[in-house]
Amino acid sequence: MTIPNFKAGSLFSRGMIAVLAAQFLSALADNALLFAAIALLKSQQAAAWQTPLLQEAFVLAFILLAPFVGPFADYIPKGRAMLLANAMKLIGAAMMLSGAHPLLAYSLVGIGAAAYSPAKYGILRDLVSADKLVKANSLIEGSTIVAILLGAVLGGMLADWSVLGALTSVVGVYLLAALSNLLIPRLPAEHPLTQLSPVVLVKDFARALRTLIRNRDARFSLLGTSIFWGAGSTLRFLLVAWVPVALLITDNTVPATLSGVVAIGIAFGAAAAARFVNLSNVNRALPAGIAIGLLIMVFAHVTSMPTTIAMLVLIGACGGFYVVPLNALLQERGHETVGAGHAIAVQNFFENLTMLLMIGVYVLLIKSGISVVAAATGFGALVLVGIGLLAWWRLARSE
């Protein structure tokens, strides 16, 4: 059978538009569901430390399923993989709506997200050529950021109005995302396996992990994106605790909206990266990464809303400029070696392990009684040191 050459067409081919729509709707529902779940825990008078555990329950699936979701994304057409993953997210949201404990239901959404991620990023390398890969990533990140903004704001607002209404809306959006998945072109499997036993898949994952770790560019990307997403995930929950202390506001809408403000900044940064950075000059992204830690340290001591918004936009912009080129670099090196789906699965393993550790430290800090301002300052310092060391290592070994 002849496979259409999608790479020869426009960046806005039918396949890319379908992927963008599916990703937008799925990310919109993901972020609305998070703030609806936070509101649900509050309404149940759950302990404060349970709120960040939502993210722990979510990311655990990325770590445990890492050996399996990459082959899953590469073994079947990626559009169908995205459809099945969205179905799992839908089941999790429906369970929360039906009265299941938020931590349990959100863990099922995490399973769907773990399967979804390698497919959504891996398919880009099937749809566009290498010279358009950063731009394609920028489009995905831009649509995701808009979805994060709208999802967070709508999730917070709907939850303040009605938690039940918010959860019902999320289920509906997941259904729309599934319909968009059906419009993605059926592409050939990229890295089919001859066996699907768990032992074979774990060995295959270990081989992919070793291959990527030995590749200089892939190793750099894995470490760099892991620090960024670990920081971003923790920052979201810091905002939930920080807003009542620094801004004296206690509703669900404001921290959700501020989370969306970060997303606006990431969209600007992603657009700038598409214009000024490509795979040959990816080191241009490093100063923006270093700035993230510095800005978080300053942000921790802000007490006014206008300054808060400005700082969060700056943090997001630096993040977008930093992470988009690193994502594209890993996809290209992964495509050349182990398959894009395998590469993204390994990336998810590292990123979510970092999230698990960073949020775990944050939970311990909350339980120990440390102030949220001190926690945020220390967190910014940790990000600064982490990315600073990575930049030094990268530049010291550049030819």
Q: What top-level class would CATH report for the domain 11-396?
A: mainly alpha
Alpha-carbon distance 112 to 186, whole Å?
20
Q: Indicate the DSSP class of residue 4.
A: P
H helix intervals, 65-215: 66-75, 78-97, 102-122, 124-127, 133-161, 163-181, 198-214
Please answer whether residues 67 and 333 qualify as being in contact, where contact means their C-beta atoms are separated by less than 8 angstroms.
no
- CA distance from start to end of the chain: 44
CA proximity to 160, closest of 254, 292, 300: 254
Alpha-carbon distance 349 to 141, whole Å?
19
Q: For the chain, which residues make up each domain, given as ranges?
A: 11-396
Look at the pTM and tell me if it is higher than 0.85: no
Neighbours of 17 (CB within 10 A): 15
Main-chain dihedrals φ then ψ at residue 8, nearest 5 degrees: -80, -15
- pLDDT per position in the chain (399 positions), as tens? 333 444 444 567 777 788 888 889 999 999 899 889 988 988 888 777 778 888 888 888 888 888 887 777 777 777 788 888 999 999 999 999 998 989 999 999 999 988 887 777 667 767 776 677 777 777 887 787 778 778 888 888 898 888 899 999 999 999 999 888 888 777 665 555 556 678 878 888 888 888 988 888 888 889 998 988 888 888 888 888 889 888 888 887 888 888 878 878 887 898 898 888 887 788 888 999 999 999 999 999 999 999 999 999 999 999 989 988 888 888 778 777 787 667 777 887 888 888 888 888 887 877 787 888 888 888 889 899 999 999 998 888 765
